[in-house]
Structure 1
């Protein structure tokens, strides 16, 4: 599991190496709707997926598996309490939420151990 760093800003880009490939994640705070969105770009800044609404404890890339070039693992916004239903503007900075990546092999191990 890899924790992806975040900034205290309404919009920022984070470069991260996942499974030996460089990706750029653009996170944008939507002040009207009070939610974060995520764009996944490749190393050339070409968009692979745009506008994923970041919700707690849900596989963010799962619905986009058909798109070539995405990381083979899964992105999750993990919250510190089950009472949190939305991720607020400061929640990544305060530690209430973390953006994590689980490599495909870790996901496979989790599924196999659950069976």
Structure 2
């Protein structure tokens, strides 16, 4: 999926590892240069700000758990209308 974050276009890939039972995030530039690969999606934790990599969005991607369980999302718990979704907090 291609999305604009703070006015810059990025590619996000979200995928589930059946072996590990975990959702992961990959982030690329719009021209498909890898920025972050295999970031574990954990509710209520910032996913990108801990990395000091040129080209990352200046804000933060956060996985939000609408049920307030704050447990890692299972295979059927992640995405639009599900228990856990990704949100972007713009840089201030």
TM-score (norm 2): 0.91
With normalisation by structure 1, the TM-score equals: 0.74
What CA deviation, in whole Å up to 9, does each residue of 1:34-89 have, x standing for no partner? 1111111001101011110001110001221x100000000001001222411111
Of 74, 82, 85, 1:88 maps to 74
Cα distance in 2 for residues equivalent to 1:84 and 1:50: 23
What SS is found at the alignment partner of 2:71? coil
Q: Where does the alignment leave 5 or more consecutive residues of structure 2 unmatched?
A: none
Q: By percentage of residues, which structure has more helix? A: 1
Q: 2:29 aligns with which of 19, 26, 42?
A: 42
Paired residue secondary structure (2:57): coil
SS of residue paired to 1:92: coil
Rounded Cα–Cα distance in structure 2 between residues aligned with 1:62 and 1:71: 9
User: Partners in 2 of 1:57 and 1:41 — Cα distance?
Assistant: 22
Segments of 4+ moved more than 3 angstroms: none
